[in-house]
Structure 1
């Protein structure tokens, strides 16, 4: 690397430090999702078995990795954060390396900077967790790293399918199979495209290479099956080991769920499809303006004229980016752009390479385009930068500056001035968007001043005047930690709140981790009540949670939305403490602790 590139890497490191400092200990949400990411490894580290004693939607790899960290270093939010920062650094390094090989160091630097500033540690909505320090699901960030490493391996495997590369490619695919459904899908499609590319160029693929791939692919699932077989019968052990994809393939609990439907954009498919089409057309128009401007600047005569054209186009793009573009909905264009670029890349691969050129760069670009497109599958008609966009939309967003800077000038045959215009146009168009997202995140993060937890579990959330939820969670956790019974005293939090279980160090008596919607429908709430009959908790916490997006106005209002559990608790429990208003009414923001009568 040249000295200038090392300086660029130092600037990227400085960006990481800055955005970490702005968001320090402000990453998680006190009630939603991330409590599970702390509670599950704490329970597993203390002898519980995943899926038998504690439930989860996804595969076993991430939770057992985190449990291993807790076993070695002790439980703690900052233990996971430290590990997650290592994962983030690895993702950033692989992105930079892959993009550098595909589009050059300049494109790689800009893409990496966008990744850090927009996707790394931002909070763009009221709920935390959508970042790489405290992800809502570790399977998401671990899975993105696995998929990027798979692309790196497959780009070499397509040229020479050695036994070592075949085994590593199979192993990475196998790791995806014990993570998350969309990660399995992404790894599978990327592998399929790589195989077709390998066959297209008629490169030999021996039986030994196929066997090595199969061994690697089976190894992670087989390893977990063997482990689970020491805890449960073999049939159940196999199901547990395959949970990542079996849950998606066979479970009906989320069919018709309004929140999941909304995540996909299927709640209003027609309007959403039109929004996506319009956003994609607008994005293509702006990219065409940059391309045409770069071509015009490159062919202009005279230095002064070139500078005037370059400056005028840059100012015009900047004004449009600042005054016109609705950046909050910028994610709407990403699927269309990624699909178009995947097709363009596929055509480039299918064309015979020019004499003296390698097919490796076009193949790598195609693999990255396919991965970026497939990662958007969970937001098919609801593309967004915020929320799940931190990992699902990130790669597609990074393709835009990479292609503008590293590929468009090459395709247009541009010289120095044209390449410069492409860079300036890219920065003028995308720079205001990066500033918008970074500024929006900073405003939200600055509001987080209320501390919850102690020592390595300490984090900051919104004060009571903004959102009292964090204060309620902290107060209840402190109260329960001081209550008699210690870690042997079981705690049930309704309708959701494993963060309280974790901070209070009180295990739940039942496996589910939330008690509404898909977890209680279809007869599941009655099954939970039967389990509670067998293992009644010592404590029950009722905490306000806005469930309107699930169609619930008041928790417990119907038999399959908490009503059966509350009826069961009935006279069996008495009020031990209250904080705030009525906990069953999300508008009152309250919390109640119930103690079992003896």
Structure 2
């Protein structure tokens, strides 16, 4: 009982408070109004109306997240708020697992600080001028669900190391199969880390080769169960070969050389400006090395002078806060992760050697195996942004495990090394805790101010989204009017369409379909350069012309980062020609879409007699 109370006050209370405070600060401000999130709301709504994923609704990731959210909609009713609260519950559970895992290696204080970093820096992140990069309403739930499942899988693996039971091994296999149904990069990270960890553990136990093969067969068989279950479900609505083709589609598309050469992916990976990115990685690694060496040296000097006490640690901790405050505008906080892949690789390589050559004590081996597994998981997730790893953009998810591991290095590993050298690590602990607290505060304030600027409501009730205030001028002279235009468009379409059920929105405006509860006329829902590449543009055009909707809404979008900037001119010309031939412009609100940089929409109505 006393131990539970101690956990509540030293871990549960601050972590729970952080979740509550950030939920209040960001309430209904999580998603971006137009970029990406519309698909995450529309797809489960469409499935809850009886449509079938892949057959009736095109989708390019695994089916797991979409059907989980469909179940949420069927139980609680459709609503963006329902999605947010469900994922908030998932995040709360994973925060507890992260605390338990960190506490296994370290103490409650360090575990609490790492959880607070997870919540503030990543879960409720708002590092850029739009949403979509947080764990509550991300650009795709497949990524966040995959990572959360990965953390749960590694936590269960830690339990398996303590007590290797067959049912736990089977559960690990099922979890890996579920991760397979989310996103490619997450499955790669979980499969490499978990597979390697299991192999090392079985080898350390000196199991017979037949026993290892039997365990591996059981694990692999269980991992196939979720995949086969979804394939069986889809086989009732489409041929089995097509069902497997859709489930495996994202893995096949990942090997498409044209997709990999798109500017966005070149920038994300870091191939664009590679020389500059390598220099920054090296510079950041050198800075971390120098800072770690300096703090370790100060710890040793104060120990020799017998002044390595709590008062000295407190003073140096305060000095660290003052120094970081003075350098706040100089430090590139969102790029602080650039050197993490290098450090993780070196640490993982060293740890693998220690496991191979070190002692055979069971407790030491378990700790090293689970820690190596976490490093491999974190490092592999960074592959998609290896040379350009930042907290912004995809870094909200891909850099998250790596950042938490690096914080663990600073809060636990470095002080432990110092203790072995000098017998005391008060200075290092104080400086590390101060630095981590300031890091959390800086990133948290950045997100806080971003959320506070989103005060303009779009939608109603559980579907309300707060966007940035309209009629604000950008530094480059553009006028921000997105929320105002979206509200006016929604009201106009409600009056214009009446009871008509089909609405085609182009190229990425599914949020209109969801808020109006209007289905797409065909399975095609997204018309970006990437999706048109994977779907075959001629096939999309043919399907649309075979099932023409009464109304079409074109919403401005700029795909410069995907190599083809504007819909209808740089790509999808056949679709635009069909619209111009068979539809008449009813209303334009804002600027003309796909011309310049100002936001605007156009509403078209079918002009052929008897077809409207």
What TM-score do the two structures reach when normalised by structure 1? 0.93
* Aligned-partner SS, 1:407: helix
In structure 2, distance between residues paired with 1:165 and 1:428? 39
Q: Deviations over 1:163-221 (max 9, x none)?
A: 11210111111111111001110111012221331243134345553343123111000
Q: How does 1:112-131 map to 2 (within 5 A)?
A: 112-131=115-134
CA 169–356 in structure 1, closer or farther in 2 if over 3 Å, else same:
closer
2:282 — aligned with what?
277
In structure 1, distance between residues paired with 2:491 and 2:143? 31
> Are the equivalent residues in 1 in contact too, given 2:202–2:212 (CA < 8 A)?
no
Higher deviation after alignment, 582-591 or 306-315: 306-315
1:541 — aligned with what?
553
In structure 2, distance between residues paired with 1:316 and 1:11? 23
1:519 — aligned with what?
531
| 1:356, distance to aligned residue in structure 2 (A) | 8.2
1:359 — aligned with what?
365
Q: Deviations over 1:444-497 (max 9, x none)?
A: 2111111011111011001212332233223222322333353x5321212211
Runs of 5+ in structure 1 lacking a partner?
none
Q: 2:388 aligns with which of 379, 382, 400?
A: 382
* Aligned-partner SS, 1:483: helix
| Structure 2 residue 235 is the aligned partner of structure 1 residue 233 | no
| 1:244, distance to aligned residue in structure 2 (A) | 4.5
Higher deviation after alignment, 290-299 or 235-244: 290-299
| Structure 2 residue 521 is the aligned partner of structure 1 residue 509 | yes
> Are the equivalent residues in 2 in contact too, given 1:384–1:393 (CA < 8 A)?
yes
| 1:68, distance to aligned residue in structure 2 (A) | 1.4
* Aligned-partner SS, 2:425: helix
Runs of 5+ in structure 2 lacking a partner?
473-479
Higher deviation after alignment, 571-580 or 380-389: 571-580
1:456 — aligned with what?
462
> Are the equivalent residues in 1 in contact too, given 2:313–2:427 (CA < 8 A)?
no
> Are the equivalent residues in 1 in contact too, given 2:344–2:375 (CA < 8 A)?
yes
In structure 2, distance between residues paired with 1:218 and 1:521? 29
2:195 — aligned with what?
192
| Structure 2 residue 203 is the aligned partner of structure 1 residue 217 | no
* Aligned-partner SS, 1:591: strand
* Aligned-partner SS, 2:336: helix
Q: 1:484 aligns with which of 494, 497, 500?
A: 497
CA 254–322 in structure 1, closer or farther in 2 if over 3 Å, else same:
farther
Q: How does 1:323-362 map to 2 (within 5 A)?
A: 323=327, 324-353=330-359, 357-362=363-368
> Are the equivalent residues in 2 in contact too, given 1:131–1:390 (CA < 8 A)?
yes
> Are the equivalent residues in 2 in contact too, given 1:186–1:374 (CA < 8 A)?
yes
Q: Deviations over 1:226-265 (max 9, x none)?
A: 001000011111222333434424x455132111221111
* Aligned-partner SS, 2:504: strand
2:475 — aligned with what?
none
CA 339–322 in structure 1, closer or farther in 2 if over 3 Å, else same:
farther
CA 115–427 in structure 1, closer or farther in 2 if over 3 Å, else same:
same
| 1:365, distance to aligned residue in structure 2 (A) | 1.2
Higher deviation after alignment, 160-169 or 205-214: 205-214
Higher deviation after alignment, 585-594 or 171-180: 585-594
CA 503–355 in structure 1, closer or farther in 2 if over 3 Å, else same:
closer
Q: 1:180 aligns with which of 161, 180, 183?
A: 183
| 1:100, distance to aligned residue in structure 2 (A) | 1.1
CA 202–309 in structure 1, closer or farther in 2 if over 3 Å, else same:
closer
| 1:98, distance to aligned residue in structure 2 (A) | 1.0
In structure 1, distance between residues paired with 2:150 and 2:299? 34
1:587 — aligned with what?
597
CA 347–289 in structure 1, closer or farther in 2 if over 3 Å, else same:
farther
2:476 — aligned with what?
none
| 1:557, distance to aligned residue in structure 2 (A) | 2.3
| 1:23, distance to aligned residue in structure 2 (A) | 1.0
Count of residue correspondences: 593
Write out the 4+ residue segments of structure 1 that deviate beyond 6 Å after TM superposition. none
Q: Deviations over 1:21-67 (max 9, x none)?
A: 11111111111111000011111111222122212221111111111
| Structure 2 residue 413 is the aligned partner of structure 1 residue 407 | yes
Q: How does 1:4-15 map to 2 (within 5 A)?
A: 4-8=6-10, 9-15=12-18
